[in-house]
A and B are shown apart, each in its own frame.
Chain A
């Protein structure tokens, strides 16, 4: 029998096996779907968050808010002082009205804050674009920010990089948590598929004994079970991606109005990530079948 004939036989027998024990097969598919859905959710969230951080990093500014009543000469002196730093690329004056307009545009849901008298209006500011710092410059940069903050006419200094670093830490935590939970659930899925394949091979134990008796090779006997695990994993992967797509589609209409959704769910997974999820499902299914049949072989060799 050539490989193509063997594969056709494996797929046919695997489908028969799946239909024969469809309830437990469905359970295995569901387990892998849940674990990959969770993995996909973390991947989607962290991917969007990572893209947002990258974009913020690109637009990161140091904003020096000026005290009320600072005249143009004082403002220019501060600007000159800022421009003298080696990491500063550009210094631009942003009048209070423009600052408020930018805030309203970036955070429409928080727009009323800049109009609410209780919070006061935004002051004039100097916006500083900086190049990427080297590790040896970090300490000097921190000292420089403190110095700027003490300059006469400076109300406060706000470095975007500080809060971006905070969000980046959150991203690391999300990824670690996602990896941990996904690992645990994938382990459970592999265990379930192994149990299902073992159950199917138990249902077929008489047939397997007959196959061995008439001279079938182990490859020929086990092939359908490997394919069965693979198909369960593939089905779980595809179902997880479909569920994820449906949830993302349902949320997409609300992305524009929710800052959180915009941060974590703006874009769906990339094609490569979708393929990776499905491939992980297939690999988990195959892994479950391999683990199960490895034990069956060890048992048959002992027996």
Chain B
């Protein structure tokens, strides 16, 4: 599903963000990306959805050569990839519903269908009852769940999360991680960047470790206790 062939990313300032990175992530995998600050995690993720272009090497996402993708085709690539950030990146002047329904809206779906799929995405993250609220009226955990709902609304094949629990307390972080595990169980390829080595050990699956822009470790891990104790989707109570 995602292939990196000898990828390098060097900035004009001379800073080397990535060097000689080759990897393959298969459809339906849950993959943690870890490493210290400045290791290149964010750059690697940004290369997948063409927020950055590599200085050298090739990247294939669903068979598409992302680096060579014409600028006009980039939006179509991004519609197949959901992205969640540490800082949520919600539009403050739009309601929760409008934030989530933005993509269905630009895809030209009729209002009823927009409402239906935005509601469904919000229900999955347990926030269907906060559709009319504005992001600033929500807690950090709720804002991150809205961001996840927005990432899920188009049913993407790939979900990228760049330290999505970085701004949250431990309880909220566990809630968000459970949500990602639930999304992964439904067949979505999830790439989750985090500093939290303990979390990776407890969840398992696969860990890619970056250090100073190089991929230094690619480990398969047993599925851990976190996943085993997974409760049903967070939004189960929203149906009422």
Contact = CB atoms under 8 A, between A and B. Distances in A.
Contacts of B107: 1
Interface stretch (A126-134, A152-160, A204-212, A224-232): A204-212
A214 B102 contact: yes
Contacts, number: 48
A1 B106 contact: yes
Interface stretch (A80-88, A215-223, A258-266): A215-223
A168 B91 CA distance: 61
Contact of B76 (A9, A210, A215, A220): A215
Interface string B175-187: 0000000000000
Contact of A213 (B76, B78, B106, B108): B78
Given A214-B150, A215-B76, A5 B108 contact: yes
Nearest to B147: A210
A298 to B, nearest CB: 12
B91 A215 contact: no
B89 A210 contact: yes
Interface residues of B, number: 21
Interface in B68-99: 71-72, 75-79, 83, 89-91
Nearest to B81: A215
Nearest to B49: A213
Contacts of B106: 1, 214-217, 220
B103 interface: yes
A210 B78 contact: no
Q: Which of A5, A210, A220 has the most CB of B within 10 A?
A: A210
Highest count of chain B CB atoms <10 Å: which of A206, A212, A213: A213
Contact of B103 (A214, A218, A301): A214
Report which residue of A210, A215, A216, A217 has the largest number of chain B beta carbons within 10 angstroms of its beta carbon.
A215
Contacts of A214: 78-79, 83, 102-103, 106, 150
B105 interface: yes
Given A207-B91, A210-B89, A210-B91, A215 B108 contact: no
A207 B76 CA distance: 18
A2 B77 CA distance: 20
B105 A1 contact: yes
Ordered nearest first, which 6 A-B pairs have the shortest CB separation?
A1-B108, A215-B79, A215-B78, A215-B75, A217-B75, A214-B103
Given A213-B89, A214-B79, A215-B77, 7 more contacts: A1-B107, A5-B108, A206-B91, A213-B49, A215-B103, A215-B154, A220-B106
